[in-house]
Structure 1
């Protein structure tokens, strides 16, 4: 009788692993390119070279440039979300609020935010890219809001609490923008401390 032999199955697993590893390298290279060079300087060829794979291999995983870059930002957004949850694996209490505020603000600084910003700018001019990025940002925004509510211990059934949490996230995004041009660490630390106090008053 026909079928897949044990040897065939054993040979297939490493191939699948290699495929996953190649895909991950491409995603990470795409985010790094987007953060460093912007949309105009981040072609599939440039990303493939940075990832150490052929252009054909890149297109096998991501047929279009839009596929590659929206998948890349989504991938790293998920990684950052996982990292944030790992900081507070058992949840967070009121005594952790300043640490939670600082960790959430960190989501809006660094290469992910820089790459996402380039993607937003490109999407404003690229008709094919805009609906993908809009959908992605809505999903990332919902996830960020949900995590913030959980970690801050916010009761959204109370009037104004949802808007307070959303206002904080909007502020964090603004801090991320300020950090793009200069190192805004010192001012950011003071703002984080103030927002932690404001959230304590608003959420307690």
Structure 2
């Protein structure tokens, strides 16, 4: 009796290899920044030969462009998953703020931040990053409105939601330099009170 070995189709192997390369690229962006992320380091981290990496992504920009999209999708998935676990009741507003703050202090946000900074002086990278960031911004705003039960037809509510997102994004940015968890928690507590009062 002959034993047949199940073979993984080429397309599936190729997709898995691509995913490893993108994950490695994101990890290196977080650890070493944009300038310190090289295609050689990415292929080593992913356990992929240099030739295979070049087949999927011929240049660093090709790799980073794909990583930008990957990071964008991961950020959206993470937010949606966190939103599905939010409690109801009197602590909901505070929980929404904590969810957003967690998102903006995550490694995925740090990787995105590295891309923003690099895109500031790289027109090709900016052309890729800007539309995706605009999409993320719109999706995050829409999700926040929904989670807070905010009625944007009322004067000032849209600006209040945007101020909330700017606040948590700024707190996330501050956390890349120092651990300010205690201060962040106090700010979120107070902002939750203001939001509940203003949105009531």
TM-score in same-fold range (> 0.5): yes
2:47: which partner in 1? Answer: 52
- State the shift of 1:114 in Å: 1.7
Aligned length: 195
2:147: which partner in 1? Answer: 151
2:14 to 13, 19, 36: 19
- The TM-score, its normalising length taken from structure 2, stands at 0.88
2:94: which partner in 1? Answer: 98
- State the shift of 1:90 in Å: 7.6
Alignment of structure 1 residues 80-91 onto 2, 5 Å: 80-89=75-84
2:107: which partner in 1? Answer: 111
- Alpha-carbon distance in 1 for matches of 2:85, 2:108: 25
- Alpha-carbon distance in 2 for matches of 1:202, 1:79: 32
Structure 2 residues not aligned, in runs of 5+: 1-5
Deviations 1:27-81 (A, max 9, x none): 1111111111111111111111111102222232233322322322332332232
- Alpha-carbon distance in 1 for matches of 2:27, 2:85: 32
1:203: which partner in 2? Answer: 199
**Cα gap change, 1:45/1:144 in structure 2, threshold over 3 Å: closer, same or farther?**
same
* Runs of 4+ displaced beyond 4 Å: 90-94
8 Å contact 2:75–2:109 — kept in the other structure? no
- The TM-score, its normalising length taken from structure 1, stands at 0.86
- Alpha-carbon distance in 1 for matches of 2:127, 2:140: 20
2:190: which partner in 1? Answer: 194
1:3: which partner in 2? Answer: none
Structure 1 residues not aligned, in runs of 5+: 1-9
Alignment of structure 1 residues 35-184 onto 2, 5 Å: 35-89=30-84, 93=88, 95=90, 96-184=92-180
